[in-house]
C-alpha cells in the first residue's frame, strides 16, 4: 500500500501546538480552554464548570475537526478497497494504531486492538482468553476498587467456567491492601485484573509492583487503564502487564473508541472474540482460516471515524504533555480540598497516598443527588452517585458520593464555582 497520502503526510508533519505558559511554569490554561468550544456555552444561564471529567472529557476542536474531515474528505471502508479513498482511510486508521502503540509503549502495532472502550476490552479478554484457558478451581483476582466493567465480565466468566472470583480489600484511605494482595495470590490465580486509577476515589494503584507480584505467581495481568490515559504516562513494557485497556472518550477522544493492548504471543494463541468480516483470511462452509493480528480481533467495519479522532486526541495530549496536565490537575485538587476542608461537615471519601484529580466527598445532611441539582443550577457539572463502583460505596458505608474530577482545561474559577454551590446548598438545607 502506498503510504504517501495526504493524511499520513499530515500525520507525520503535524505542527505541534505549544500550550506552556508564556510566563513562569505550567500550562497556558486560557489557550487550552479556547480549544474546547463547549466551554464557551452557558448552562442554565451560567458559565459552565465542567467537573465530570472522570465520566467523559470534553473534546478539543482538533478532535472534532479530524472526525469531520474524515467524513468530508476520506470516508470509505478500510482494508478492502482498491480505490484511493479506501487507501487513504486505511492508512489513516492504521497510522493511529501506531500512535496508540507508541502512546502505550507497546513493542509492535499488532498488539493494539481497537475496541469500543474498556468495557469491550475486558469482555474480549474474559471471553476469548478466559473461556479458553480457565476451569473449575482456578481463581481470578480483582480489587475492591474496581469499576463494574472490571467486575461483571469476570463474574460471567466464573459462571461459565466454575472459576472463583477473589477480591483484594482496600483500607480506609482507599489504597489496595498490598499485604492482602500478596497473600491472596497463589498458583490458582490465573488472571489478576485491576485498575491503574480508581474512577470512584482517584487512587493511583502501584500497578508496577502489583504486576510483578501477580506475574511471579504465574497469573496473566490485565490493567484497566480507563482513567489513566489522560493523567499518567503509560509504558506497558516497563509495567510488564499482559493486557492494558484504554477508553478514548476519557482522554479527549470520541466516544465509542478505545484500545486493548495485548502481548503479541498471548493474543496470537487466543481464539477470536467475534466472527465476521475482516477477521478471516478465507471462508468456506467447511472451514474458515482466521486472519492474523490485529485483524483477528476486529470483526466487521470498525469505528473508523472514532479511531482517527482518537489519533487527534493523542496528538493533543502530546502537545499538552500528560505530566504537565497531571500537575495542573493536582494543583486544582489541592485548591479544592483546601477550600472544602475549611468547611464543616464535609467528609472526603478516598485519601489514597497517590491519587489523581478526583475529589469524592459527602456533605452532612445533604444527599449527593440534591447537591448535584443545586450545583447544576450554578452551571457546575459533577457526578452524584455510586460511579459504577457500588462495592466501593458499600466499603465506606454510603450509597453515593459527589465527585468532582478535573481535566486540563479546568481553572481555579471552576473550583470556586463548585465551592460556592456547596455553600449555597448548605444554606438551603441547613437547619
Partner 1 sequence: MNELRELYQELVLDHGKKPRNYRPMDEPYRHSVGYNPVCGDKLSLFVRVNESDVVEDVSFQGTGCAISTASASLLTEALKGKTATEAMDLMRQFTAMLIDPENDTDPDALGKLAVFEGVKDFPVRVKCATLAWRTLEAALDGRDTPVTTE
Ligand X SMILES: Cc1ncc(COP(=O)(O)O)c(C=O)c1O
**C-alpha grid cell for residue 106?**
507497546
| Given 193, 388, 407, 418, the catalytic residue | 388
Give the separation between CA 258 and CA 125, rounded to whole angstroms: 14
Nearest to ligand X of 87, 149 (CB atom): 149
195 binds, among ligand X, partner 1, none (CB under 5 to 8 A by kind): ligand X
Give the separation between CA 245 and CA 233, rounded to whole angstroms: 14
147 binds, among partner 1, ligand X, none (CB under 5 to 8 A by kind): ligand X
Give the separation between CA 301 and CA 278, rounded to whole angstroms: 8
- Provide the 3-class DSSP secondary structure of residue 239: helix
* Longest Cα separation, the chain: 75
In contact, 352 and 204? CB cutoff 8 Å:
yes
Nearest to ligand X of 230, 388 (CB atom): 388
Q: How many CB atoms lie within 10 A of CB 240?
A: 15
Residue 385 lies near partner 1 (rule: CB under 8 A): yes
**Binding residues for ligand X (CB under 6 A):** 117-119, 147, 149-150, 195, 199, 224, 226-227, 247, 258, 388
388 is a catalytic site residue: yes
Of how many residues is the chain composed? 431
In contact, 357 and 330? CB cutoff 8 Å:
yes
399 binds, among partner 1, ligand X, none (CB under 5 to 8 A by kind): partner 1
Nearest to partner 1 of 151, 279 (CB atom): 151
Give least dist CB 184 to ligand X, A. Answer: 21
Q: Which of 369, 412, 413, 423 binds partner 1 (CB under 8 A)?
A: 369
Nearest to ligand X of 133, 255 (CB atom): 255
Q: Which of 186, 274, 323, 373 binds partner 1 (CB under 8 A)?
A: 373
Judged by CB under 8 A, how many residues of this single chain contact partner 1? Answer: 19
Closest CA to 40 of 53, 49, 29: 49
Closest CA to 27 of 330, 418, 339: 330
Give the residue numbers marked as catalytic.
Answer: 388
- Kindly list the residues in this chain that would bind partner 1 in the complex (CB under 8 A): 365-370, 373-374, 377, 384-386, 390, 393, 399-400, 424, 428-429
Amino acid at each position: 500500500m502506498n503510504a504517501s497520502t495526504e493524511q499520513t503526510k499530515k500525520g507525520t508533519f503535524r505542527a505541534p501546538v505549544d500550550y506552556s505558559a508564556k510566563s513562569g511554569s505550567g500550562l497556558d490554561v486560557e489557550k487550552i480552554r479556547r480549544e474546547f468550544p463547549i466551554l464557551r456555552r452557558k448552562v442554565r444561564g451560567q458559565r459552565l464548570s465542567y467537573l465530570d471529567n472522570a465520566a467523559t472529557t470534553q473534546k478539543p476542536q482538533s478532535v472534532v475537526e479530524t472526525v469531520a474531515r474524515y467524513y468530508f474528505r476520506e470516508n470509505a471502508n478500510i482494508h478492502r478497497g482498491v480505490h484511493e479513498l479506501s487507501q487513504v482511510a486505511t492508512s489513516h486508521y492504521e497510522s493511529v494504531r501506531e500512535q496508540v502503540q507508541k502512546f502505550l509503549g507497546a513493542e509492535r502495532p499488532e498488539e493494539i486492538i481497537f475496541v469500543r472502550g474498556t468495557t469491550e476490552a475486558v469482555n474480549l479478554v474474559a471471553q476469548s482468553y478466559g473461556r479458553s484457558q480457565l476451569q473449575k478451581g482456578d481463581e481470578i483476582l480483582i480489587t475492591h476498587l474496581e469499576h463494574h466493567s472490571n467486575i461483571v465480565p469476570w463474574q460471567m466468566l466464573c459462571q461459565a467456567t466454575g472459576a472463583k472470583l477473589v477480591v483484594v480489600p482496600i483500607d480506609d484511605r482507599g489504597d489496595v491492601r498490598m499485604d492482602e494482595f500478596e497473600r491472596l495470590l497463589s498458583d490458582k490465580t490465573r488472571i489478576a485484573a485491576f485498575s491503574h486509577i480508581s474512577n470512584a476515589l482517584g487512587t493511583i494503584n502501584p500497578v508496577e509492583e502489583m504486576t510483578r507480584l501477580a506475574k511471579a505467581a504465574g497469573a496473566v495481568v490485565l490493567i484497566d487503564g480507563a482513567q489513566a490515559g489522560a493523567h499518567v504516562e503509560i509504558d506497558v513494557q516497563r509495567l510488564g502487564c499482559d493486557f492494558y485497556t484504554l477508553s478514548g472518550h476519557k482522554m479527549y477522544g470520541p466516544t465509542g473508541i478505545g484500545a486493548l493492548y495485548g502481548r503479541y504471543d498471548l493474543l496470537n494463541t487466543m481464539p477470536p472474540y467475534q466472527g465476521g468480516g475482516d477477521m478471516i483470511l478465507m471462508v468456506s462452509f467447511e472451514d474458515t482460516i482466521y486472519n492474523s493480528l490485529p485483524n483477528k480481533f476486529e470483526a466487521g467495519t470498525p469505528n473508523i471515524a472514532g479511531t482517527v479522532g482518537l489519533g487527534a486526541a493523542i496528538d493533543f495530549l502530546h502537545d499538552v504533555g500528560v505530566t504537565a496536565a497531571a500537575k495542573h490537575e493536582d494543583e486544582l485538587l489541592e485548591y479544592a480540598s483546601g477550600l472544602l476542608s475549611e468547611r464543616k461537615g464535609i467528609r472526603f471519601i478516598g485519601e489514597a497516598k497517590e491519587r489523581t484529580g478526583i475529589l469524592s466527598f459527602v456533605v452532612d445532611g445533604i444527599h449527593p443527588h440534591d447537591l448535584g441539582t443545586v450545583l447544576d443550577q450554578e452551571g457546575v457539572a459533577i457526578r452524584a452517585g455510586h460511579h459504577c463502583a457500588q462495592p466501593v460505596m458499600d466499603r465506606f458505608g454510603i450509597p453515593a458520593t459527589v465527585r468532582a474530577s478535573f481535566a486540563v482545561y479546568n481553572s481555579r474559577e471552576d473550583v470556586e464555582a463548585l465551592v460556592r454551590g456547596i455553600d449555597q446548598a448548605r444554606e438551603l438545607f441547613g437547619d
